[in-house]
């Protein structure tokens, strides 16, 4: 790595599947702008990785998100 070029920031988002393309676009646009502004790097240097998980692979408080909610 060249000494005068800082490493590019990489942001990883992990979330349940189900968001629309438009929602993911809005989210990544907002995060890229924020990272560029706060870190003072060109937005072209900001990389965002979106990992989408099946709800059966996410558990909150011991309950899988794929399980029916108790009422």
Domains in the chain: boundaries: 13-60
* Residue 2: predicted pLDDT: 60
* Residue 6: predicted pLDDT: 67
At the topology level, CATH places domain 13-60 in: Macrophage Migration Inhibitory Factor (3.30.429)
H helix and E strand count, the chain: 1, 4
* Residue 21: predicted pLDDT: 98
* Residue 22: predicted pLDDT: 98
Reading the chain (71 residues) residue by residue, the pLDDT tens digits are: 566 766 799 999 999 999 999 999 999 999 999 999 999 999 999 999 999 999 999 999 999 999 988 77
Integer Cα distance of 71 and 68 in angstroms: 9
Q: What is the pTM of this model?
A: 0.80
């Amino acid at each position: 790595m060249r000494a005068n070029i800082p490493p590019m920031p990489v942001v990883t988002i992990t979330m349940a599947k189900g968001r629309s393309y438009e929602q993911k676009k809005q989210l990544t646009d907002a995060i890229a702008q924020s990272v560029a502004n706060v870190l003072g790097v060109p937005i072209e240097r900001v990389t965002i990785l979106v990992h989408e998980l099946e709800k059966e692979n996410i558990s909150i408080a011991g309950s899988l998100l794929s399980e029916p909610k108790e009422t």
